[in-house]
Amino acid sequence: MTAPNSAPIEASIETRACHRRSAARRLAVAVFVTATLAGSSRGRAEPAAGSPAPATASPVRATAAGSPAPAGEPLAPAVEAPAPATASPVRAAAASTTAHASSSRRPAVYVRLGGALIKPVSSSRELELADVHGAASLAVQNGAIRGSGATIDSAATPAAIIGYVLPTASRRWSTELVLGLPFTVKFHATGTLATTSIAPMALGIPTGVGPLGSDLGEAQAVPVVVTATYKLIDNRYVSPYLGIGPSVLFTRNARVTNPTLTEVNHPEMSIDPAPGLVLQGGLDAHLTRWLYARIDVKFIAFMLARAEVQHINVKTPGLPLFDSVEVGTAKMNIWVNPVIVQACLGADFDLW
Amino acid sequence: MRRELWFGVMIGAIAACSTPAGPPGPAPGVVYTFPADGQLDVPLGARIVVTFSDPVNASAIAACSGTAVQPVGALCLVGPDGPVAANAMVTGDGRIVQLTAALAEGTPYAVYARPELAPAAGNLPASGPLVHFTTRSTRPSTAATTLLAVNGGPPDQPEALRPMFESSTIRLVFSQPLDPRSVALAPGRIELVDGSGAAVPARLLFDSVHVSLDPIDDLVADQSYQLKIGSGLTDLAGRPVTPAVVALTPRRSAAAHPIVEMLRTRAAGDHGPAAPHVSATRNAIAIDSPLIGTTALAMQPGALAIELGDPTILDQTLPDDRKLSDRLAFTIRRGQRLRAGGLDVQLGGVVPAGLSTGDILIELLSDAGGRIYRNPHQPVDQRPDNDRSPLLVDLSLDLAIYAVDPEGNAVLTQTALGVQGSGVVIADDGVLDIEAAIAIDLDLLGLATTTTNLALELITDPDAALDTDGTAPTLLAALPGATAAPASLDTAVELVFSEPIDLERARAGGVQLQTGDGQTVPAAIEGHGAALAIHPLSPLLPGTTYQVALGDVADLAGNPLPATTPPSFTTPLQIATTAPATVESVHPGAPCVLTGGDANKPGHCLTSDKAGDDYHPFSLAANEAIDVRFTQPLAPASVMRGTACNTGSIRIEEFDTGGGCVAPVAGTLQLRDRAVSFVPDQPWQVDKHYRLTLVSGPDASCDAGEICGTNGVAVNLSTVGRTAPTVLARANLLIDFTGAAATTATLVTMETAPIGDVNGSGTIDAGEAASDDNRVALRITGTAGAFTAASFSVPDCIAATPEVEACSALSAALPVALLPAAHDCALPDGSTAASCVPVAMSPQLVIVTSLPLNTKLITGTTILQDTGALVMRLREAPAGPAMGYVIDDHGTPTFVARLALYLDAPDLGFVFAEHDLHSKPLSVDVRGPLRFLPDGRIAIAVANVADVPIDVNIQGNNQTGVVHMLMPLGGLKLQLVSPPLRGGAR
């Protein structure tokens, strides 16, 4: 990507520098920067807001101080160079943004790091049993368990927004990707599933199978969100925006945690990737030259998590003849429809 | 973090890590066998079933070799002497192997299955049999009668096969049939007492070797009971049963608080397993008998209420015994019933018998019970698995079988006690599916016993409704009755109802045999399905009227019998006679003293004059009994079987090839009113030589070691031999015969009924009533030579003809063998029947009562001469037995035969003259319908289909004369009736 010729000098210098770096390196730098800003374990302590960064502490600053350097050039000479406080590329990017605000040039990439609170606005259909066969079929049948349901707990996780400003004329359109650390979601039984036995009797004989209780299972979830955003106002200080896009909820390490369901064996739990439609709104606030704060609210609609628990075996203390029976598969269709609220800080910059 | 993020993004495309799916699954292999391992009292015709979890290698099945302990073959049925020839059939979906074989009575067998049959099987025994079982024996024996099994296990281990619960019916098996008159719940006979020694009220059921005790109220769990067998119980020969005491402690199954579950027969489209487990055809009764061919009766929709015990109660006393611990007990209360489709009886499977049973009902006579238990072919801790380790079910039943159609019911109804079933239980599709194989010994037409194999499949259905009985029973038939005179005085009285009645109410006075003046006749009441057999404890009195008072009679549901006229009958008079009892039939053999025999042939009847044909060598199939019939009752004390060679009035001895007596054959001699039968302890051995000897002594006096009639006269065994007219050529009757392989033919001795010459005097005495059903009419058509006229000095007996006929009464006993059906049968009249049931007739005789013959000589002299009893002897065909055929004559089963007869008048004598009625050959074509009597017996009423001329030539004093006689068409009427079906004669 080539910077427009009309870009400010600082920006063009930056652009030229980027031309001489590999894309991987650019990305690494960007991630490192954002990680630093997010205060990740791999970053260093973030200075207090508004405090000037130590002049020599950051290679970023060194880099920023550096004049255009040839590709592969060690950073050390730049570190050694005296760095004016405004010479950082980030600051340059911020300046560029500021400049853009006045000159309609906006850096191509921005990163916001922070935390995300995922609050499912969940509702579920009745839990369905499938593949019920064998002795279990004497007590339960395929189909919905009347009055049953399931919910998902809220969760919070560090999350990042990586945005790319589309090179449209207005440069108000961006595309964003939300990345977050996998977080644990817990599935809970509700209704009759939690409070009454799903198989109280078989052939008129009490099976001894008790209510499941609340715990059902858990999984690590990774929601992947890609949106296209549009800045409603390209204000120097505040930029509200709206967005829309697709989302997919991926999970891993799904497992059943219910003691009744795990007494005989560990059933297989799987959750299909759950797509959804993201409706997004937020506000970017320009705090400093290069620092932005963002409050972002997303609602992911139509996100139906289809969870299956296979090879469920339960003890039948009331029927010692059987000892335990294989129930089959339990299917949970849960409308996750989460509201994701993110608060983050970040910066805009050009990588080339 | 980047790595985390990256992994997080990618994980959605990665399948979740697998986790164990459940407890380890069972190994493939055997899932079911019938009989169950260790089962006793297995019916001889039971299908042996081995079911695997996966299809077997059918090509591996071949004839087995080796020894009893080391058989060689993929699947072997092994008896005490080694592998047994068996037919193997792989059926169902390739997982079921069925074996059928000719099993021997009371014999242990084992089934061996090897990996070649099922290479993947993981539970075949490394050595030793897969299952072992012992067959049923109803054969009388000289060995002491013992209690053989209690609830399927040996008396000292009554729970060896199945546990006993508080609701269990106690089912006993004895080593040989019991005398029904001795079977009672009484001290010294059969007692069930509790811990304090008090008798426990129970219903008593009995049939042959089986006794069932169904406590009126369920027993108390964990309490001690004692079953006592006393010496007052006797076998058919009157010998006491070996006393025994069996301790019983019923286990708790919570029968007081049962969980009632409804089961119904599974129908097409119902849930349940797709593949069968015990038989290719489910809910069907398979019948395979030479008598009625091969057929299957479909079970009709029906339901049973099953009471489940508490499944959480496990016995702690024997926790390692899976039979006792891993089970779900259940009880099916008495009175419930299922239906099967009707049977259109076809003799040999090809000749319609004109009998349709209508729906057949199978009713529980006692509380049935059983248990569902874990598969014994898998480790104890293996949880049930429908495919490889299905639950099994064990059933014990006492059944009444009867039919809707009155005639069919009279033929079919019977009791089947001690029925054992086992099967597979599949819980799937929301139903509990019970598929059980049940082998039931069924009497067919009163002529044969065959094992029917019922594959019963029931599924749970809460909405199923019981077939409730709201219909009152009715009395359908009685024997003896006004139209069915008793053949003998030791007969049982049979009552055929429309459905089973409550035996306990009947025994409590609801049914009483009484004399005509209302005096109660002590009797034992035995149930036979919907029929009762009332066994007088002493023989009936001749010339006495009896009635059966029907008081408190109700079916098992309590529906009372409506007001019914008490059936009554009068026993025939026994007119005193000095005539000796005469042998009427001998099987094997011929009813006459033989002469002219040698090592290769038995010879011919000793006659006064012309000898007849030599008989073919006699043989007796391994599964046949010796049967001898007489014209009069025998004095019981005179009928003594020898215990050493050449001793006793009846001798059944094994002979060596040199003609020397080896030893008497061990067996049971049964004396009935006019008959003696002998069943060897062991079946006759093929090609071994035996001899039957009946001793009559040199004269009429009844000396020791001679068989005598109740009139004190030694029996006459020389039916046609006379040293002079009316002077018997007394001699012992010796029948040499060889043992032969068991036959599949249906063997039965048909007797003439009713008979006129009740006292066997050879004449119709005053007080005796000749029957038109059994008579021969003779018409004198002319004379020649020395005779100018002849007539019988009796009234015309056939008014329908313009001529004058004199009738004689006939009596006969004819052992016949109904052979397997044949096709394109050549009939005596030259025609051909498309199919028929050949009937082999034993060369016996028909006794014709004497007629007064009046002849006038050319001299003008009139001679009145009694003919004496005439004898018509059935001759054998040149290459085998005399044959008849049952054919389908436009919907009527009809017997046709050409009877080659010898006519003898051994006691006819003329002064200074001789006649030629000695072995005088006659050929009589007979034909007549086969029908079923209201009491279920089969009657074949034949008549001659053409005139039969009989010329009596008389020669003496250089003169000859002829009396021309004719047996006109229809003049010979012979009605042969099969024995009573339900203990008519002990």
Question: Is the pLDDT at B171 greater than 90, yes or no?
Answer: yes
Per the CB < 8 A criterion, the answer to whether A200 and A207 are in contact is yes
Task: State in Å, rounded, how far the first CA of chain B is from the last one.
Answer: 99
Q: Which amino acid is at B498?
A: S
Contacts of A265 in chain B (CB under 8 A): 19-23
DSSP string, B373-421: E--TTS-TTPPPBTTTB-EEEEEEEEEEEEESSHHHHHHH-EEEEEEEE
Per the CB < 8 A criterion, the answer to whether A134 and B391 are in contact is no
Which of A177, A252, A303 would best serve as a mutation to test chain B binding (most B beta carbons within 10 A)? A252
Q: Does A323 touch chain B (CB under 8 A)?
A: yes
CA A200 to chain centre: 41
Highest mean pLDDT among A16-20, B445-449, B772-776: B772-776
Task: Provide the 3-class DSSP secondary structure of residue B744.
Answer: coil
Work out the average pLDDT over B467-496: 84
Name the burial class of residue B101, with classes exposed (0-12), middle (13-18) and buried (19+) by CB atoms within 10 angstroms of its CB: middle
> B255: pLDDT confidence band, cut at 50, 70 and 90?
low
Between CA A218 and CA B283 the distance in angstroms is 49
Per the CB < 8 A criterion, the answer to whether A216 and A256 are in contact is yes
Q: How far is A275 from chain B (nearest CA, A)?
A: 11
**Which of B2, B16, B428 is nearest residue A137 as measured by Cβ atoms?**
B428
For B509, which DSSP code?
Answer: I
> What is the reported pLDDT for A349?
86
B161-170, B178-187, B347-356, B483-492: least confident range: B483-492
> A82: pLDDT confidence band, cut at 50, 70 and 90?
very low
Contact flag B261-A264 (C-beta cutoff 8 Å) = no
Structure tokens at B307: 């009471």
* Residues near B737 by beta carbon (within 8 Å), at least 6 away in sequence: B588, B589, B617, B618, B619, B620, B689, B690, B691, B692
Question: Is the pLDDT at A86 greater than 50, yes or no?
Answer: no
Per the CB < 8 A criterion, the answer to whether B833 and B817 are in contact is no
Contacts of A251 in chain B (CB under 8 A): 11-12
Structure tokens at A262: 């795990």
Contacts of B260 in chain A (CB under 8 A): 204
Q: Widest CA span of chain B, in angstroms?
A: 149
Q: Which amino acid is at A265?
A: N
Report percent pLDDT > 70 for chain B: 95
| Best CA proximity match to B101, nearest among B118, B67, B76 | B76
Contacts of A203 in chain B (CB under 8 A): 259, 261, 308, 432, 460
Contacts of A182 in chain B (CB under 8 A): 4, 7-8, 11
Contacts of B327 in chain A (CB under 8 A): 321
> What is the reported pLDDT for A97?
42
Task: State in Å, rounded, how far the first CA of chain A is from the last one.
Answer: 8
pTM: 0.84
pLDDT per residue over B126-154, tens digit each?
A: 889 999 999 999 999 999 999 999 999 99
Averaged confidence pLDDT in chain B: 91
Give Cα separations from B975 to A129, A191, B750, B843 (angstroms): 72, 82, 9, 17
Q: What residue in A sits closest to B11 (Cα-Cα)?
A: A252
Between CA B278 and CA B272 the distance in angstroms is 14
Between CA B406 and CA B789 the distance in angstroms is 53
Name the burial class of residue B380, with classes exposed (0-12), middle (13-18) and buried (19+) by CB atoms within 10 angstroms of its CB: exposed
> What is the reported pLDDT for B21?
57
Between CA A320 and CA A334 the distance in angstroms is 35
**Which of A134, A252, A313 is nearest residue B11 as measured by Cβ atoms?**
A252
For residues B241 and A86, the model is more confident at B241
Q: Which amino acid is at B757?
A: D
For B241, which DSSP code?
Answer: P
Averaged confidence pLDDT in chain A: 75
Residues in B lying within 8 Å of A, measured between beta carbons:
1-2, 4-5, 7-9, 11-23, 259-261, 308, 311-312, 314, 326-328, 372-374, 383-386, 391, 427-432, 460
pLDDT per residue over B523-553, tens digit each?
A: 999 999 999 999 999 989 988 999 999 999 9
Work out the average pLDDT over A326-348: 91
Contacts of B383 in chain A (CB under 8 A): 322-325
Question: Is the pLDDT at B14 greater than 50, yes or no?
Answer: no
> A5: pLDDT confidence band, cut at 50, 70 and 90?
very low
**Which of A205, A250, A268 is nearest residue B311 as measured by Cβ atoms?**
A205
Task: Provide the 3-class DSSP secondary structure of residue B4.
Answer: helix
Burial A149-174 (b: 16+ CB within 10 A, else e): bbbbeebebbbbbbbbbeeeeebbbb
B245 forms beta bridges with: B228
Structure tokens at B27: 């190994």
pLDDT per residue over B418-470, tens digit each?
A: 999 999 999 998 899 999 999 999 988 888 888 999 999 999 999 999 988 99
B423: number of Cβ within 10 Å: 31
Work out the average pLDDT over B726-751: 93
Within 13 Å, how many C-alpha atoms sit on residue B974's CB side?
A: 26
- Within the 130-159 window of chain A, which residues sit less than 8 Å (CB to CB) from chain B? 133-135, 137-138, 141
